Structure 1
Amino acid sequence: MSQNKITTLFGIEYPIIQAGMVWASGWKLASAVSNAGGLGIIGAGSMYPEVLKKHIEKCKNATNKPFAVNVPLLYPDIDKIMEIIIAEGVRIVFTSAGNPKTWTKHLQEHGIKVVHVVSSVKFALKSQEAGVDAVVAEGFEAGGHNGRDETTTFTLIPMVKEQLNIPLIAAGGIATGRGMLAAMVLGADAVQVGSRFVATPEASSHQNFKEMVVKAKEGDTQLTLKELAPVRLLKNKFFENIQELYTKNPSKEQLIELLGRARAKKGMFEGDLEEGELEIGQISGLIHEIKPAAKIVEEILQEFEEAKQEVINY
């Protein structure tokens, strides 16, 4: 595969980026994806500053390839997180859930490439104005926290591409080589893959959660809790409790009370499949096996080349 804007920007071999997912994206997964030629990402959203520091140190020991850290900008200890990232010499940061103007220039002054995750054309343009090096445009199919407008990846990518001048990474519903080819035909320079990498031995999420992802079928996930922060969840007892509460026209406070604290940790990290919050994408219906991250990268690339050849031969 020839080099393009994203592989050149990050110094990686293939335009495959592993998403920074809470409770799944520790140093083991990030280093495995980076060693396979993609860009691994440590997800700081579920880490205290001192925990993130240890993950960065271990990742540096496990790979000599580029890797990144994903930082939700709503993080309470954001100053400490950024201090650690700079001190540890991380070269690439993906920001999300906040205003990219706040940290982009500061990180770039320390030689760090900055990418911001968005779910709309409006916020892609705001990110470009803030000076980011690239944008991740994430469609409604994606797992975890999501856009309120429910714009699908297939629609969002060409709309963003039409107006953006900087490199574009597609995310949401991409887990295969055919999905990668489709995204790049629509205008993406690379793809960000999340859910597929949850079902790996290297993901830090609980085995119970991984097995439930593998068993998921089409229609087993749904976007909910829009009044708080839209999140796509596997349907379980907790999800059904949310749906039951919605029949009573709940206040925002009642939804917050039901959600409680550490609900995602309980589900994805501790393996409580009944009462936990299980964040995963719609593409989970196409994930049938837990397999090593390097094997997933290899299979995506192989299928991408085969699909590209099929299109050429039409």
Structure 2
Amino acid sequence: MHKNNRITSLFNIQYPLIQAGMIWASGWKLASAVSNEGGLGIIGAGSMYPEILREHIQKCKNATSKPFAVNVPMLYPDLEKIMDIIIEEKVPIAFTSAGNPKTWTPILKANGIKVVHVVSSVKFALKAQEAGVDAVVAEGFEAGGHNGREETTSLTLIPMVAKEIEIPLIAAGGIATGKAMLAAMVLGADAVQVGTRFVASHEASSHLKFKEEVVKAKEGATQLTLKELAPVRLIKNKFFNDVQKLYQKGTSAEELKELLGRARAKKGMFEGDLDEGELEIGQIAGLIDEIKPAAEIVKEIINEFEAAKQQVSVL
């Protein structure tokens, strides 16, 4: 399919299609299913205690002989333990986010691990390249979960980053179909990272009620909020409305922090509390209308990508 693709060569995978390491969704079942189908599956360490992560890595190794990765948000309190486990378990690829790539990139690379850093701006893409990462994920404003303050959409971010960096580029944010994958690659990406579409899969570890909410979501169902703490895109539910009420009366970061409390994301996405939970998902949820097996999602995206290439060639 892609004989000279920089990402398939770098990761030793069949398709330039990566499943995002999403909090409360990306466990070993999802990661191994995507890797087995020719993409790159990622375990999301953001919601895992160190020993839970080790268990997921070991189960993933048993379930696939193909490469997989671990995503690590570097705001994590037990970061050193997490990194030690990734090194001890010889995970081939680490995706880092929300922190300075200079801190861990040299250590991971010295241990033979390929490093990819997630960014939301040209400035941070250049910093990541300077830190020695192997590739970057440029994530547009459409993406679910934690997001860039600049609100740069994928359509503008991807070509801007592609113009400035020399290392391989993975596009993310608003990509759930083969057509969007082709569009991102035309704009200069070497591969795409898909999150929201894989939340609505049987293998995602999220609660079924949350998956059903993603399928029900229409255009305009999500919004970026909590910029004073860390910008996050959420489904508009009771918790979201409570946040908006605070904004309307004029609020402080302290008040927002107090309302947010602890484990709000776990409550929503893992435990299925659709009122009080934080429901993180991308804008593209409005296009998704079915929960299906991860392998089928990979096949569908790749088949649509190939068909779209043929369609475009006759325009």
Who is 2:314 aligned against?
313
1:40: how far off? 0.1
Matched, 1:267 2:282: no
1:219 aligned partner = 220
2:127 corresponds in structure 1 to 126
| Corresponding position: 1:7 with 2:8 | yes
Structure 2: gaps spanning 5 or more residues: none
CA distance in structure 2 between the aligned counterparts of 1:183 and 1:116, rounded to whole angstroms? 18
Is residue 74 from structure 1 mapped to residue 79 from structure 2 by the alignment? no
Q: Which residue of 1 aligns with 2:20?
A: 19
Deviations 1:195-229 (A, max 9, x none): 00000110000000000000000000000000000
Aligned counterparts, 1:109-188, within 5 A: 109-188=110-189
| TM-score normalised over the length of structure 2 | 0.99
CA shift digits 1:246-298 (9 cap, x unpaired): 01111110000000000000000000000000000000000000000000000
Residue of structure 1 equivalent to 2:229: 228
> Unaligned regions of 5+ residues in structure 1, if any?
none
Distance 1:288 1:254 in 2: 36
Partner AA of 1:49 in structure 2: P
1:2 Cα deviation (Å)?
1.8
Q: Which amino acid aligns with 1:2?
A: H
Which segments of structure 1 move beyond 6 Å, counting only runs of 4 or more?
none
For residues 7 and 308 of structure 2, what CA distance do their matches in structure 1 show?
A: 21
- Aligned partners of 2:21 and 2:270: how far apart in 1? 15
C-alpha displacement of 1:30: 0.2
Give the Cα–Cα distance (whole angstroms) in 2 for the partners of residues 146 and 222 of structure 1.
11
Output the amino acid matched with 1:169: I
1:84-103 superposed Cα distances (whole Å, 9 cap, x missing partner): 00000101000000000000
The letter of the residue matching 2:2 is S
Give the Cα–Cα distance (whole angstroms) in 2 for the partners of residues 76 and 248 of structure 1: 33
- Partner Cα distance (2:37, 2:249) in 1: 49
Instruction: Give 1:162 shift.
Output: 0.4
SS at 1:284 equivalent: helix
* Separation in 2, partners of 1:149, 1:82: 29
Q: Give the superposed CA RMSD.
A: 0.4
SS in 1 for 2:125: helix
Aligned partner of 2:281 in structure 1 is 280
The aligned counterpart of 1:101 is 102
Which residue is equivalent to 2:239? 238
Q: What's the CA shift for 1:29?
A: 0.2
What are the superposed Cα offsets for residues 59-81 of structure 1, whole Å, 9 maximum, x if unpaired?
A: 00000000000000110000000
SS, match of residue 188 in structure 1: coil
Letter in 2 for 1:13: Q
Instruction: Determine if the alignment matches structure 1 residue 292 to structure 2 residue 301.
Output: no
The separation in 1 between residues aligned to 2:80 and 2:302, in whole angstroms, is 38
Q: Which amino acid is 2:20 matched to?
A: A
Number of corresponding residues? 314
